[in-house]
Structure 1
Amino acid sequence: MSNHDISLVCAWLDYVTVPGFDDDDKPTKVPVQCRQPAEIAGTLVLCERHRAVRQEGRDNDRGRLLLRYRAEYPDAPFLKGFTYVLRLSDGRVKIGKSDRVDTLKERFKRHHGRYGAFDILAVIDGGEDLEMMLHWIFRKLRIKELGEVFYSNGPLISLMLQGDIAPAALPAVQWYEGYALGQGFEVEVPALYAIPGLPASH
């Protein structure tokens, strides 16, 4: 048998509640293996949905600890990079990060291909630690199956509209405006036009 003949299935165990056999028996939770098509994720074999669930748990743990650290050391610098907040075409919100400005365009292009045109609410100085904190703050809005995508609500949008576009990220943001326009979409970057003296790129 060649390696190409091997198909992997998800090893994640979901716990399903089953009723008792008679009136005296209480419902019982039993483990059921997912068994959806999967890939190797670290030391586990997981499907796309359960990789997202596992990552969410890790993000929440780190975000909670980072928020506690920031409360004690509010002047501590964030890791290098950018955290971006995108409003997708269906109104949901994507919160991601890019370690370097030269990869920001690639992220925007990839997200455009996956989600369609989006509005850029903010691109903030601060890398993975800032992203993890935002994931933790808005964890109750997170859509587990979609990883870093969140349901939109008033407080989340209001907070993000108070953000800004980091000066070093401006070329990538304006590039995406032009890219989306070339695809037939006119996108909004609310924070961009709040910068005095900065003209719109279209």
Structure 2
Amino acid sequence: MKLRMRTRGAQGIQSGRRTGTRVLAAAGMALATVATVGGCALPGADIKVPSPTLSASDSYNPNDPTPSETPTDEDTYSPEPENTEETFDPDGRNDVTGKDCDFSRSLGQFTYTVSITNPSSQNTYSYDMVVNWMKAKPADGKAWGVHQRSITVGPGDTETYTAKYSVNWGNNYGQFWYTCQITRAEKTKL
């Protein structure tokens, strides 16, 4: 009976040694795997990751972003041609601004500062200007005075001048009302 026990014990001991060795080997392999994956592998270890393989249909062509489809008219872009021809409006009042509508009692003179901006980048224009100092009260459509002048303005330039109209009313000005109006700015190409 002792012999049987011993044999069983011997097998149990041998079996235990084998199990312990297996546990140690498995733990060592697990540690090596964790160290390799975690970046703590030995300096000489060279790990090669296989690159993905591409077939001819998987390659990328920057000139054809959708190689699997046939291009359509909607896929192409053609910019609209730019309109390089300038429009011409002979009524140049939109090109003109006025400021400082005034009357000097000491000089007996109406003044109005007029600025003309040529919107063209290519053409020079002549502007035939008419400035009126109109009665404001009563606003009967009559003018106190009129100033006329032609002025030439180059492409993209602005010309400013002061329109003037003198009156000879002596010292009998009294109280009167007036407005300044640019009534004509006819423009012609030069």
The bucket for the TM-score relative to the shorter chain is: under 0.3
More helix by percentage: 1
Using structure 1 for the length normalisation, give the TM-score: 0.17
Using structure 2 for the length normalisation, give the TM-score: 0.18
More strand by percentage: 2
